[in-house]
Every structure is written in C-alpha cells, then in structure tokens.
Amino acid sequence: MDLRQLRYFVMVAEELSFSRAALRLHMSQPPLSLQIRVLEEELGVELLYRNRREVKLTDAGRVFLDESRALLEQAKAVKHRTQQAAGGELGTLRIGMATSALFHVMPQLLPRMAARFPGLTLAVTDMNSEEQVRAIAVDKLDLGFIHARLDYKGLARCTVLTEMFAIVLPQDHPLALRQDLSLQNLEGEAMVAFSREHAPALFDALIASCQQVGFSPRIAHVARHPASLFQMVRLGLGVSIVPRSYADDALPGLVFHHLPQTAGRLQIDAIWREGNPAPGLRKVVDEVLGSFPQ
C-alpha cells in the first residue's frame, strides 16, 4: 500500500465511478481498476461494491476513506514542513539584542518574523554589543543587533535603525517645563549615564553630545539598564540623555525633551557571520531586515 494507491482510492470513492475518477487522474480506467483490486487484496477486505450499474462504498470502504484522507493530509503536511526546513523556514534562530534594540528593533522585528516565517522560533538574549560580536564569531549566536562600530572583524552587517536622542528629567526639575530646553542648559547638572562597561555606545554618545556644545558632563551616577537609569532620574539623582524610543516604556514621573539631529544619532546594526547555515538567516536578512525603515 502506498500513497499513490490511497489517492486512487479516494478519487474513486468521491466520484463513485471508475471512468470519472480515471479522467480526473489523467489515466485510463483499466490500470485504475487494477490498482484498487491490488489494494483490496493487500488489505484482505472489499472496499467497493461495483457492478455494471453502480459503485458503492462498503462499510470497510467508508472507514478506509476517512483514514486515507487523513494520511494524505498528513503526508502533505510532512512534505510542506520538510520543504520549509530545507528553505530555512523552520528551526531556531539565536538572536542577540543590545538593550536599545529591545526597545525599538524588537517591536518591529517580531510581527515581520511572524508574518514571513511563522515556523521559525526565535531565541533572544539581551547582550551588549561586544558580547554579541564575540558570540557570533564562535557560533553561539546567529544574528546580533548592536550599537554601530567601525571594526566588525569580518562579520557582515546592515543598518536597521538610526535614532535621535532625548533629555530625560524628573517632572519636578526646574528645567522640566522649559519649552526651549537644549543641551547647553544641562551644563553643571548632575547626570546619570549608562555604564561604559555595559553600554559603551550610549555612554560615549552622552559624552560626545555634551562636548559638542561646549561642556564636559558631570556624571554623578551610572546605571546598567534603562529601568535603573529612569529610577535614578526620577529620584532626583540627576538628568540624562537617552534614545528617544526609551520614552515609550519609561516610568511615570519623568519628562522627555527631544534633541535635534545635530545632538547626535544612535545607529543600530544587524550583524551575522557569512556562511552561517542557521535556519532562515539569509532569508531573514534579505526579506525582513531589508524592510526596516532607516
């Protein structure tokens, strides 16, 4: 018994006519009748009652029809999933995300992935940029989203996000309601910065933005994660400069003032190792990351 015989039987059972079934199968009637007879002999039961006037299903034939349809659907599903796997649309893709990317890239990435690659599972880890570069180099990650840097050590990359910055202050700060607030107004203010060790790109951006307008920031406190930084600012320990998208998930009691493009921009790049056979990696790069707005 094989799938071809099951398809033949289902067609005859649906048409209740060998001649009409043969037409639909694009074959002549004698070999079709022979295949059904061989199938019945193998099973040791009569599936169809036929005479010159009619063809009818036996009780055994009705049961076998239901089971045959189920087996054919299962075979179709097996074929489809196998083709998906061969095309890189099934499996697990290991992804690293800098914290900034979790705020802005991830909300865009997830729906795009679900729509284009529903069979692909994502395993996401919050990692700083340096850790991701090392992990991809030793095949512990497939795809990383990092703060842009010049040296990628042979890794492929594409830019997926450029984002401007914002000043964040506690809502009761004297500068919080000032409409024309600029970076120059922060000179002398205690500032909360991201840890240089955990978020070097954000730390360097704060320093560079302040120095660009003529002063060195007075960094009083450092934080490893956005939630910690926001809590420090809310408690009045200082003000800070963060990517604009962080405002979407900030704690209450904070005020954000957008800075112009001249104050600097954050760039997030996707990086991967060329030749990595991870499921769907090349298609994700081409079909998903290529659609991100810059």
- Mean pLDDT per block of 10 residues along the chain (294 residues) reads 84 87 88 87 88 86 86 72 53 85 83 85 87 88 81 79 90 92 93 87 86 92 91 95 83 91 83 80 80 62
Residue that is last in its domain, among 60, 86, 112? 86
Task: Kindly state whether residues 81 and 128 are assigned to the same domain.
Answer: no
Claim to verify: residue 155 and residue 227 sit in the same structural domain = no
Q: What is the CATH number of the domain that holds 185?
A: 3.40.190.290
Provide φ and ψ at 156, rounded to 5°. -80, 155
Is residue 102 domain-shared with residue 132, that is, in the same domain?
Answer: yes
Tell me: do 122 and 245 sit in the same domain: no
259/279 same-domain check: no
Say if residue 256 is in the same domain as residue 200. Answer: yes
Per-residue confidence (pLDDT) for residue 218, from 0 to 100: 95
Tell me, yes or no, whether 52 and 106 share the same domain.
no
Note whether 121 and 213 are same-domain residues.
no
Can you give the pLDDT at residue 189? Answer: 95
Same domain, 41 and 27: yes
CATH number at residue 95: 3.40.190.10
Q: Where does a domain end: 65, 86, 107?
A: 86
What is the residue range of 32's domain? 3-86
Residues 140 and 77 in one domain: no
pLDDT at 294: 54
Tallying the residues shown for the chain, one arrives at 294
Whether 95 and 15 map to the same domain: the answer is no
Q: Domain end: 70, 86, 102, which one?
A: 86
Q: Are residues 262 and 165 in the same domain?
A: yes
> How many domains does one find in the chain?
3
HSE on the CB side for 200, CA within 13 Å? Answer: 10
